[in-house]
Amino acid sequence: MADPDIAAAQPAAPPVAPGTAPASPADAAKRAEALVDKAKSLYLEGKYQEAEAALLVAWELNPTFDVAYNLGNTEYQLKKHKEAATYLSFALRHWPLLKGVAKLRPNAEKWLAESRAQVGALKVSVTVAGAEVLVDGKGVGRAPLEGEVFVDPGEHRVEATHLDYEPASQTVGVAKGATAEVKLAITPVRSEAPTAAGATPDGGGSAAGATAGGPVAGQLPAGPVEPQPLPEKRNWVPVIALGAASAVGLAVGITSTVLSRNARSDAEGYRAQIRQANRGCIDPPSDLIDTCRDVESEAERAARFGTVSVIGYAASGALAVAAVTYALWPRRAAPAAHGVRVLPQTNVGGGGVVVVGAW
Q: Check residue 79 and give its pLDDT.
A: 95
What's the average pLDDT block by block, 10 residues per block, for the chain (359 residues)? Answer: 42 42 77 92 93 94 91 94 94 86 89 95 94 94 93 95 93 95 92 53 44 46 53 72 86 88 83 73 72 82 87 87 79 52 52 51
Rg of the Cα atoms in the chain: 33
Give the pLDDT score at 270: 74
What pLDDT is recorded for position 145? Answer: 93
pLDDT of 218: 45
For residue 8, the number of C-alpha atoms closer than 13 Å in the C-beta half-sphere is: 24
- pLDDT (0 to 100) of residue 229: 58
Specify the pLDDT at position 321. Answer: 87
pLDDT at 354: 52
Q: Which amino acid is at 146?
A: E
Q: Which helix (H) or strand (E) holds 121?
A: strand 120-126
Q: What pLDDT is stored for residue 49 in this prediction?
A: 94
Give residue 269's pLDDT: 82
Considering the entire predicted model, what is its pTM?
0.49
| DSSP letters for 175-237 | -TT-EEEEEE---B--PPPPPPTTB-TTSPBPHHHHHHSSPPTT---SSPPPPPPPBPPP--H
